[in-house]
Amino acid sequence: MTETLLAIESSCDDTGASVITDAQIVSNVVSSQLDHRDLGGVVPELASRKHMEAIGWVVNEAVSKAGIKKEDLNAIAFTRGPGLMGSLLVGVSFAKSLAQALSIPIIEVNHMEAHILSHFIDEPVPAFPFLCLTVSGGHTQIVQVDGYNKMKVLGHTLDDAAGEAFDKAGKIMGLPYPAGPHIDRLAQKGNAIFPLPHPKVKDFHFSFSGLKTAFLYFLQKQVKDDPAFIEKNKNDIAASLQSTIVDILLKELIKASHHTGIKEIAIAGGVSANSELRKQLIAISSNHEWRVYIPKLEYCVDNAAMIAQAAWFKYKEKEFAPFNITADPRLRV
Ligand code: KG4
Ligand code: ZN
């Protein structure tokens, strides 16, 4: 008998639904909200409203693409947190209501753990224990993964996340939100010629707010002398910023690998789509005898396939959530 789960993701500004059958992802639908692009960041209330508009058809499409009926589902999974409260509530409530109507259990999933477990969607999969640099718009962590359900945060950011550093610096440059992909694109045509500071923090931890301020002061000073400085140098500015962020991330990852002796190394989350991070990780892997695991681009951004994959491991252990469960915007790994 086949076993099938539906998973729903609605933590930030992407509404996702995915179906997993017998450990295989059979559909993965994402509707990204483009409404925040010109607003400089995700507007929480707008995000919740857009989730409400999208969730019905996104779920229907995931079910129909999987070639199943809702009555075939064995359980429904949802992102419980971390994320925006209003956004999470839409997914949690939808999942609970549908599961009640179908009289099937529900499974709660931690969004950040799911980013990490997205490495189990396709071969090759990392062996336990592995280290995962989890870098998104809201988080920057080095996680030691000892099992599907056994993770320990070795280091985290003390202020801004890496994605936030890209987005805030990009905003200073006049780029639309989210700026990360734009900086990546510009940097490919530039050179990292402008020196930017590396923060001094405890081992395995990160800090990006000082870099953002230094970047702002640097540009303000240059623009004073030449108002067209940013426009003329945007590729080199982007390359300098990107290379500094990637350097900071990889330095701590190297330290964590030396400290733990772990050489299975993965990256996950939105910023793991960054081409320089991917390139540098591969470039340094042989120096450290690392086996590196880089997710497919479709699994770097927020998606429900990773929620389905994480839920599958819980389903096998019959780890179901009670029906009075609520969203938790600050849920930790
Ligand atoms: O994981 P994600 O899709 O959403 C969160 O859970 O936060 O990550 C979004 C973040 C944004 O900050 C975005 O700018 C960044 O990932 N990002 C990138 C790239 N693609 C997305 N940052 C740098 N380079 C990229 N190619
Ligand atoms: Zn995410």
- Which residues, in sequence order, are CB contacts of 138 under 8 Å at separation 6+? 12, 82, 83, 161, 163, 164
User: Given ligand 1 and candidates 9, 113, 135, 136, which is best to mutate, with the most ligand atoms within 8 Å of its CB?
Assistant: 136
Instruction: Determine if ligand 1 sits within 6 Å of the CB of residue 271.
Output: yes
Indicate which residue's Cα is closest to atom 22 of ligand 1.
Answer: 180
Within 10 Å of residue 159's Cβ, how many Cβ atoms? 16
Q: Is the pLDDT of residue 277 over 90?
A: yes
Q: Calculate the average pLDDT of the chain.
A: 96
Pick the residue whose CA is nearest to atom 1 on ligand 1.
270
Strand order in the sheet with 150-156: 150-156, 140-147, 130-135, 264-268, 291-293
Q: How confident is the model at residue 252 (pLDDT cuts 50, 70, 90)?
A: very high
Q: Taking 90 as the threshold, does the pLDDT of residue 331 lie above it?
A: yes
Q: Please give the share of the chain, as a percent, with pLDDT higher than 70.
A: 100
- Contact yes or no for 194/236 (Cβ under 8 A): yes
Q: What is the pLDDT of residues 261-272, one digit of tens each?
A: 999 999 999 999
**Residue of 139, 245, 271 with the most ligand 1 atoms within 8 Å of its CB, for mutation:** 271
With tokens 């050179």, the residue in question is 191
Note the pLDDT of residue 33: 87
Ligand 1 center to residue 227 CA distance, Å?
Answer: 29
Dist. CA 238 → ligand 2 center (Å): 23
- For the stretch 63-110, pLDDT in tens is 999 999 999 999 999 999 999 999 999 999 999 999 999 999 999 999
Distance 161 CA to ligand 2 centre (A): 12
Say what the pLDDT of residue 35 is.
82
pLDDT in tens, 36-57: 887 888 899 999 999 999 999 9
Q: Convert the pLDDT of each residue in 166-204 to its tens digit.
A: 999 999 999 999 999 999 999 999 999 999 999 889 999
Q: pLDDT per residue over 294-327, tens digit each? A: 999 999 999 999 999 999 999 999 999 999 999 9
CA dihedral (250, 279, 26, 315) in degrees, to 10, reads -20
State the distance from the centre of ligand 1 to the C-alpha of 221, rounded, in angstroms: 28
Q: How far is the CA of 274 from the centre of ligand 2 (A)?
A: 14
Ligand 1 contacts CB of residue 190 (under 6 A)? no
Tell whether pTM > 0.75.
yes
Determine the atom of ligand 1 nearest the C-alpha atom of 269: 1
pLDDT cut 90: percent of the chain above it: 95
Distance 301 CA to ligand 1 centre (A): 7
